[in-house]
Amino acid sequence: MTNQVELTGRLVDPADLRHSPAGVPIARALLEHESSQLEAGVERWVRFRVGLRAAGSPIAETLSELTVGELVSVAGLMLRARQRNAETDPLIISVKRLTRLTETA
């Protein structure tokens, strides 16, 4: 099975950086995506927010250094925020690649 996601969006909350008991840096943030997508031949406006989690150096520190409103591209995999209840725990992106994007006028 495949579990890969790539998404662009803006950071809407500042990232929270902490360290696991083993000393691994972990950053969490919230990304908002807005785009126009074609679905069944009809253009549809899509807007949603999704949580991000980046674990390990240097990606956790990079996420924590982003400012609110900054445009980024993330790639990673989808998983539950907590692995306790698969029916109610929210889905997040475990970030494996993070790229700052520049605005084009």
- Give a yes or no: residue 98 inside a domain: no
- Give a yes or no: residue 68 inside a domain: yes
Instruction: Report the distance separating Cα 4 and Cα 44, nearest Å.
Output: 23
Domain with residue 14: its CATH number is 2.40.50.140
Does 59 have pLDDT greater than 70? yes
Average pLDDT, the chain: 93
Does 62 have pLDDT greater than 80? yes
In the chain, the number of structural domains is: 1
pLDDT level of residue 105 (50, 70, 90 thresholds): low
- Give a yes or no: residue 44 inside a domain: yes
Stated pTM of the model:
0.89
Residue ranges making up the domain that contains 14: 5-79
In tens, the pLDDT along 82-95 reads 777 767 678 999 99
In tens, the pLDDT along 18-34 reads 999 999 999 999 999 99
- Give a yes or no: residue 57 inside a domain: yes
